[in-house]
Structure 1
Amino acid sequence: MRKFSKLIDNYGRIHDYLRISLTEKCNLNCSYCMPNKNVPKNETILPNIVTSNEILFLADYFCQRGIQKIRLTGGEPLLRIDLLQIIKHLNDLKCEYKHFTEIGMTTNGVKFKKYAENLKMAGLNSVNISLDSLKSERILKLTGQATFKHSMAAIIKAIEVGFKSVKVNCVVMKNFNEDELCDFVELTRYLPIEVRFIEYMPFSGNHWELSKLFTFKQMLNIIKNSYPNLICLNENSFNIAKLFQVSGWLGKIGFITSMTENFCAGCSRLRLTADGNLKICLHDNYEVSLVKILRNKMNSHIIDEWCNEKSNYNLKQSMQLNEIYDQLDQIVDQALSKKSASHKGAVQLASSVNRSMVRIGG
């Protein structure tokens, strides 16, 4: 029986959270995420995109190396025609790897209501729904489509269906939506959700400027002035989100402070892009191809056979499989060794080369 080592970098950080982007396509055109409006939006799977078999094989590999949580992202995951099949296969891994306990998904919510119950039955545990304004005209300006009602309906449906966790992601931008902070906080009065305020981050093509950055401290000051009974729920700087709650309210609010108070010291995330590259850091342009190994002529048929007949795999095939694992171990461990202690500051990142957000996976 092969023994797999944990995913540990040079700073002792254990990586147990994998984000898998299923597609680079989206049915919206949010300016901070997908600046190129010519990106295809149809529901076909592009030839270079990771296949469902490749996703399952890599997910299994990473679970053997200690991954406890997988989040499906995009683009818009619901544009992936085999999404339910992928979630069902990932859910099967929970029986094999007891430490793997959660499958999450980030969505813009436009198509979510229609599929919510099937997603839950397939094994999806949690959902993050992107909503950057509670004003329909602002949503239209930001995304290019009038989708506010769809996103709100998605939030309510996610609560009704009974997902373990329902979060609302709000990217806060100066002179766009910072005047709505308290309106978003009000959502947590009666709804069991977590509203996450995200500092505006620079990515390729999104025309990020320091003048557009509305900081965590600025957000917190505004909210505290309106809600003096706001309490902090976690003090640990290693946490991804700084969590707060208005005393007695049902929901919570969180802050993702990547630009002003990064949480790199406790980073446990790895990312698989939709074209099969491993990114060790959201803000680092270093990446390595994992599908290149899987698509090697000697390996591709083994992957397909493994996915189709996993329980009946014989010893000879297992030896071939170990060769693939050896190749993956080498390239993944090498990538981990290159992960920095911390990403660059906001201004430096703005002048760095990286993918657009939609090509990384939100």
Structure 2
Amino acid sequence: MLFVDEIHRFNRAQQDSFLPYVEDGTVVLVGATTENPSFELNGALLSRSQVLVLKRLDDAALSTLITRAEALLGRPLPLTDEARQALIAMADGDGRYLLNMIEQVQALAAPVGPAVLAAAVQKRAPLYDKSQEGHYNPISALHKSMRGSDPDAALYWLARMLDGGEDPLFIARRITRFATEDIGMADPNAVQQALAAWDVYERLGSPEGELAIAQAVVYLATAPKSIGVYRGFNKARAAAKRTGSLMPPANILNAPTRLMKDLGYGDGYQYDPDTDTETGFSGANYFPDGMPRETFYEPTTGGYERAITARLRHWAQLRNGDSATPPPNPTHTDPSPNGPLT
């Protein structure tokens, strides 16, 4: 049996050197790593391995470790019941760190409470790695908490990241992306809130500027959600790849020269804001000639998109020659995240 600790530190070529000996049974390879094997091990080696995930210890397991340590010491630890629970909490699921703390507290003279215990040992640093999986898991949890409209969980993961030493500007960038991807036109002010938090942090720095990021996180978590723009943009890009050689219709092309005018550029163009219709809508075609009209953006019925849905339906009726009652005309300035902007 060959045990390799921190096997992720071996480069790809070094990992490949294990393969022939693993395949012919010369060695039974046991590797330990604190990283995600999917990212750090060769696919060939990983496919020949069984992955066992060691999870953090729960309170019952940590309590068992304390009992075993006391048995080895031949006496109970000099801790009150409250201090004993505090010791388990300070270990934060790490058995090795718990045993290190036990070595420190076992020499105390008399049973002590949580306050004396905290002064006698150092609190375990939060588990956070800014370059590996420990970096991406919390930001994923923050993202999904906001997407799930849970401001409390979102604030928790934000605090975890900041306490772990994450760059607040990284968080600001991610929540700005969230505002455009997961909220979009359901609340057009969401991206402004994210950008404002980013700007405030750059002006104030830590810790004062972190509150602006927290405010933006709460705003985004409580805003109505929509991926209508995200889906629509992806559909439009796919259509653009299929029809990338088609020219725009001649009537919407600029004609800065006489030759272009003679070729029909701009001929018959209708300037929509100056049309006679009440809504300033001509119903002209803006897709390339030879390309049928497609619907890419499909708004939801939540938030500001409720009004957009009514407006698009009204324009579709006008485009088809049907009579229609003009929809309400809400503005984009209402900051309310919980309903249509009116």
Calculate the TM-score normalised by the size of structure 2: 0.22
Higher RCO (CA 8 Å, separation ≥ 6 residues): 1
User: Which structure has the larger Rg?
Assistant: 2
Q: Say which structure is richer in helix.
A: 2
Q: Say which structure is richer in strand.
A: 1
Calculate the TM-score normalised by the size of structure 1: 0.21
